[in-house]
Structure 1
Amino acid sequence: MAPDPHARAAYKTSSPEARPAAESAERPQPPLRRRKARRLVVAAAVAVAVAVGLAVPLALRGGDTHGRPASLPDVTGVAAHPDQSPPRELIAAGRVAVSAYYTAKLVKQPNGNAIGTYQWRLLDTATERYEKTDWAWLDVAPGTRTAAVLERDLPVSRIGLLNLATGKVRRWIKLDRNVGSVQFSPDGKRLLATAYRLNPDGLFKDAGYQLNDKTVPGPKQSRTGFYVIDVASGKADFAERPAKKSGTLAGGRQDFYWSRDGELVWEAGGNEAGRIYYDVSGKRVPAPDQEARAPYPEAIRSPDGNLVTGAFVGEGDNIVSEVRNAKTGKRAAVVPGQQLLAWADNSHLIAWRCDPGQCSPGKGEFRNQLLLVGLDGKVTPLSGFRTAKLQDEGRWIPLLTGR
């Protein structure tokens, strides 16, 4: 069963332990069978599927239930709209909110070229509704008051700091080199921006490759390095880190991301851990102990640090994932969900789960919705179901941010 090929990881919260990836497109959905931990795909624009030429990148059943509480306190601040997909009004639970979401499409350009583009809808905190924007790329700071935004025609030479209550840019940070992505640090005090010479989501005729007996435009790798930027002062320090030489399907987008404690940055790598770490000056360093010991790269610790998300462990129509004890590594619970995204509190998670009645391989595996799930197995739908068509322009990918 093919994984969902949306690639820019869009799940962020204020806790360093809960910002697993780019953690700013959709990570691959785990196949509905038992499998080993998988490598994070970070090519950002596979949201429009390689097939069309964009190669940029229930009742609780089964498992060891030892340690699962018989009942849990209710989560505070739940805003659910199970009749909305894509959502129009705020979706949130506990410490996490959907601060923005995007859809993706392929836009043809002259001379046989193309660009993968994103249509973002950003939370208006005054109305608690999602409003359409024209930004090419964005990220939302913990606290959901400020967004960092990039203008169209990536890469660009400035980053805007936008007020989510007014929708206005209050300040621009100008840079000497063009950037194609931006991400807030876990504490919201710094920005990490990846620099490129070309549009990282661009597809070029002169970089074409064969796909299904047809030549399609391909990406060009043009990354030059990254900036670490102090938000308060605008001071920007650049570290030179050119693009890794890799195959066509790796894509032109090779972004850097913050480590969970915000002390290091990382990029996707071919090693066993799936990540290569650097200090903020660009020097390669070993993986932090806590991240090196995680059960898989995208694992997320609970706010109190006692639990950590595990892999999908369902079989057949049993759509469940495991939660482990962070200290011992032993299974603490099995919860409904195909992919665990963020902790709403110490005993509830936000997860994707496909429609239990239509989850057979090749059928409705990707027709999924956001759920709030408790360690006791209680499920609260947060959104409506997304379309099962991976290449559908209406298929939305959320950005989860600590509030």
Structure 2
Amino acid sequence: MNTETHLRQTLEEWSEDARVPTGLADRALRRRTGRRVAKVALAVGAAAILAGTGAVAIGTRSGAPPVARPVDTSLHTDPDHAPPQRFVAAGQVALSAYYVGQGDPRKFTRTWYLYDPASGGYKKVPWAWLDVAPGLGQAAVLDGPLPTTRVGILDMKTQRVTHWIPLKAAAGGLSWSPDGRQLLVTTYARDPDKMGSTPFSGARTGFIVIDVKSRKAHFHSLLYDRENQNTRQDFGWSRSGKLIWAPRLTTPFRDFYTLNGEPQGPPPNEADRQDPAGISPNGRLIARSGPPPGPNTVVNDLQTGKQVGVQPMEQLRAWADDTHLIALGCLPNACGSKGEYYNRLVLIDLSGKTIIPLTGYKKGGWEPIFTHR
């Protein structure tokens, strides 16, 4: 089968399974301008299908100029399964891992599944916590039971830990920096997913910033928020990677700190962020929950505050590019009724009119992890 035939068949299959404009295959082929198409790729514009890879800027820490590197933007879906069995990705992000949660009043446990490039699917792994680095080359893992006093750096190709980094304080959660050079480790005195004998028993002790290349780790004490009733209070990175934040239950929903633990004013539009997608890659738009009665989502222009799109979704999870998002959507015409929590991941444009299924439907129970490719 030649490339044009394969591309045409793929796009016509989408038209049957999702709300995709008719004649999309012909339009995509006309846009090839003589170039060989190796993969179906997501790009700017609801009906635009481009070939090959895109490019993004990385390496912007400490005021250094951005360094461009190619990023695979090919579209991968598994609309028949939830959680997915095959690799799922759209635009600049990929579903790099997911966990299946199980809980009771005393303890919440996670079973993790990690993307395995060798099989093209997801592999059950024994770790108690993990996060995948931008570029999908490495993962950081914590072995159980939590908290633990070492972090493993795992090679995604071999699915093996290449080395362990010892810690001076016990870790219960971790997150890669946006540039993939540092790890932010949240430390705990006891298991953050286990409730104490009282309704609330905080356990967070602080955080560790690890330079992955040098393996140097620095601990900073920053205790749990007594007003936050959640026992797990993991730190996260600001959008630029220059600050970290701690979660709050009331507005503003994030308190910001320097990498040394000093309180800092919030970056614009980040303190009150609740929706996971947040600010678009170009910094011009922001994803938000829609007005009642919902479920519904909206995207606003950050400069003018003007609403640029409404989507019939429950939640916007990640930006695929500047005009498409990965969202959580319920059954058609069932949002707000008993079908609200029977949902799937989809790719959607700003207008909410072009929707491509990424996974099958499932009633809760699993949580995807998205990583920049």
If the length of structure 1 is used for normalisation, what is the TM-score?
Answer: 0.72
Pick from 342, 348, 351: which aligns with 1:373? 348
1:197 aligns with 2:176: no
User: What is the CA–CA distance in structure 2 between the aligned matches of 1:82 and 1:146, rounded to whole Å?
Assistant: 27
Aligned to 1:147: 139
Pick from 161, 164, 185: which aligns with 1:172? 164
Structure with larger RCO (C-alpha < 8 A, sep 6+): 1
User: What is the CA–CA distance in structure 2 between the aligned matches of 1:245 and 1:374, rounded to whole Å?
Assistant: 40
1:240 aligns with 2:237: no
The amino acid of 1:268's aligned partner reads: P
User: What is the CA–CA distance in structure 2 between the aligned matches of 1:200 and 1:295, rounded to whole Å?
Assistant: 23
Aligned to 2:339: 364
Larger radius of gyration, structure 1 or 2? 2
Shift of 1:304: 2.1
User: What is the CA–CA distance in structure 1 between the aligned matches of 2:309 and 2:370, rounded to whole Å?
Assistant: 23
Aligned to 1:257: 236
Shift of 1:380: 0.4
1:304 aligns with 2:282: yes
1:383 aligns with 2:352: no
Distance 1:353 1:124, change over 3 A: same
1:348 aligns with 2:340: no
264-273 or 194-203, which deviates more: 264-273
User: What is the CA–CA distance in structure 1 between the aligned matches of 2:297 and 2:275, rounded to whole Å?
Assistant: 15
Counting matched residue pairs gives 310
Retained in 2: the 8 A contact 1:200–1:220?
no
Retained in 1: the 8 A contact 2:347–2:356?
yes
Shift of 1:71: 5.2
Retained in 1: the 8 A contact 2:150–2:167?
yes
Deviations 1:129-154 (A, max 9, x none): 10001100000111111110000100
Retained in 2: the 8 A contact 1:223–1:242?
yes
Pick from 239, 253, 274: which aligns with 2:253? 274
Distance 1:299 1:103, change over 3 A: closer
Retained in 1: the 8 A contact 2:275–2:287?
no
Aligned to 1:124: 116
The amino acid of 1:120's aligned partner reads: W
The DSSP-based 3-state class of the residue aligned with 2:201 is coil
Aligned to 1:227: 208
The amino acid of 1:364's aligned partner reads: G
Retained in 1: the 8 A contact 2:130–2:141?
yes
Question: What is the alpha-carbon root mean square deviation over aligned residues?
Answer: 2.4
Name segments (4+ residues, structure 1) moved above 3 Å.
69-72, 294-299, 313-316
The DSSP-based 3-state class of the residue aligned with 1:203 is coil
Identity of aligned residues (%): 39
1:400 aligns with 2:341: no
Shift of 1:296: 5.6
User: What is the CA–CA distance in structure 1 between the aligned matches of 2:257 and 2:307, rounded to whole Å?
Assistant: 32
User: What is the CA–CA distance in structure 2 between the aligned matches of 1:260 and 1:175, rounded to whole Å?
Assistant: 26
